[in-house]
């Protein structure tokens, strides 16, 4: 029995949805442990496209249990809309196959508005938030004033909890000359949807303990990527939660020693959405070509992704920080038409060579990539399912990445289709 954690090893958008869906065919339980509806996963199953934001990828598979852990922040209205949307596509969502941690914090309308107010006021200093209220909700959680799923059970308790959180937010809104939120109106809206949310509520830590005793395989699904981690990413251009695999334990209530294998999803090139440093970004025709061939648009926001060469320095760093056992290399086929392919193997910072990403944001913007160049293979890898069938130069590229970053390539994705995967090492069977 193995429990596997899947995380993005770059800035997110590495193709986790397909890999998690592929692995969920073996798992019994799929758990989201951080983030909110700012993270999107696109699944393609039998030509049918599913765009998920909050729901774990396992929800589209029968006989799987999907869970939102305590580390996730939940917009209850967005969640109910997503459930309604996916039900129209024939997917069953019920308390038998979907659970929410009773300790999860709720994103409320004033969180989203505060997100928008701050981002609009930041001007050139914008972080690039998705404006979904994620950050302000996490702030309230840390400030011990958030509304949690369990608070919906009692009208009187909800009243006092809203009093507390609104005293904080309305003071700020008054100072910004914004309309204050009225407690009774918000309370009414929450109580209207409370039964629909509470029917999924569970002490998730206890359920996971039961699943472990029953020897069920658990798959932990991370959102975003490690370079967006609030502690280990390109701060302040990061998300508001920890995206490293250690969060799988904290954000679900499962003991860390029950996490057996960490899989890092890694794109064969690099992309980033929003603001922030990006050493290998290509603001030229090659970057445009990667974006076009890779269909690089955000699942949640439809924002165009910035594209660049594979940054081996960054991926090697995230592998060390996260304890990644193996990587799933995605979108190899996007590189098929290139004459040559570059990989960043070192940085130049003010004339000095360094082999890691400096912590200071100022330095992160200054560093210049030092590249190693590989010949392109100039032939199609799309749909290849056996590593022996890859062009020799494509295999050389994969082996070079594996050697440099210090982690085994456990699988290679050669198209968005679930079946178009070269399996080298199965995380559940090692």
Q: Which of 13, 75, 151, 229 is catalytic?
A: 13
Active site residue 13: yes
Cα distance between residue 343 and residue 397, in whole Å:
9
CA–chain centroid gap for 227, Å, is 11
Based on the residue annotation, tell me whether 41 is a catalytic residue of this protein: yes
Q: Which of 21, 37, 41, 420 is catalytic?
A: 41
Catalytic positions, written as ranges: 13, 41
């Amino acid at each position: 029995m193995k429990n596997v954690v899947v995380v993005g090893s770059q800035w997110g958008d590495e193709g986790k949805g397909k890999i998690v869906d592929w692995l969920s065919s073996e798992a019994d339980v799929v758990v989201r442990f951080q983030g909110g509806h700012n993270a999107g996963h696109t699944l393609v199953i039998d030509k049918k496209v599913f765009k998920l934001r909050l729901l774990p990828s396992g929800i589209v598979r029968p006989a799987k249990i999907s869970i939102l852990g305590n580390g996730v922040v939940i917009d209850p209205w967005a969640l109910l809309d997503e459930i309604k949307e996916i039900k129209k596509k024939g997917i069953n969502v019920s308390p038998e196959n979907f659970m929410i941690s009773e300790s999860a914090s709720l994103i409320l309308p004033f969180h989203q508005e505060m997100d928008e107010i701050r981002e609009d006021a930041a001007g050139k200093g914008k972080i690039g938030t998705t404006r979904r209220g994620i950050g302000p909700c996490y702030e309230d959680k840390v400030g011990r004033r958030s509304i949690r799923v369990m608070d919906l059970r009692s009208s009187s308790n909800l009243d006092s909890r809203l009093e507390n959180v609104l005293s904080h937010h309305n003071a700020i809104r008054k100072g910004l000359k914004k309309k204050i939120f009225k407690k009774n109106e918000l309370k009414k809206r929450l109580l209207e949807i409370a039964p629909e949310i509470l029917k999924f509520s569970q002490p998730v830590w206890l359920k996971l303990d039961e699943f472990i005793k029953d020897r069920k395989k658990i798959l932990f699904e991370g959102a975003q990527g490690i370079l967006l981690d609030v502690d280990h990413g390109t701060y302040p251009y990061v998300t508001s939660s920890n995206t490293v695999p250690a969060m799988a334990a904290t954000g679900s209530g499962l003991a860390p020693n029950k996490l057996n294998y960490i899989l890092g999803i890694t794109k064969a090139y690099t992309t980033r959405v929003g603001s922030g440093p990006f050493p290998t970004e290509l603001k030229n025709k090659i970057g445009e070509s990667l974006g076009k061939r890779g269909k690089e648009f955000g699942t949640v926001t439809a924002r165009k992704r910035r594209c660049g060469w594979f940054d081996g320095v960054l991926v090697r760093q995230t592998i060390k920080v996260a304890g990644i056992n193996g990587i799933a290399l995605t979108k190899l086929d996007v590189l098929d038409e290139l004459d040559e392919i570059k990989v960043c193997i070192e940085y130049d910072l003010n004339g000095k060579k360094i082999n890691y990403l400096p912590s200071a944001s100022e330095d992160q913007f200054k560093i210049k990539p030092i590249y190693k160049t590989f010949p392109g293979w100039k032939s199609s890898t799309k749909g290849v399912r056996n590593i022996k069938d890859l062009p020799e130069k494509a295999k050389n590229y994969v082996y070079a990445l594996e050697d440099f970053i210090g982690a085994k390539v456990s699988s290679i994705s050669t198209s968005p289709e679930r079946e178009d995967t070269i399996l080298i090492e199965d995380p559940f069977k090692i």
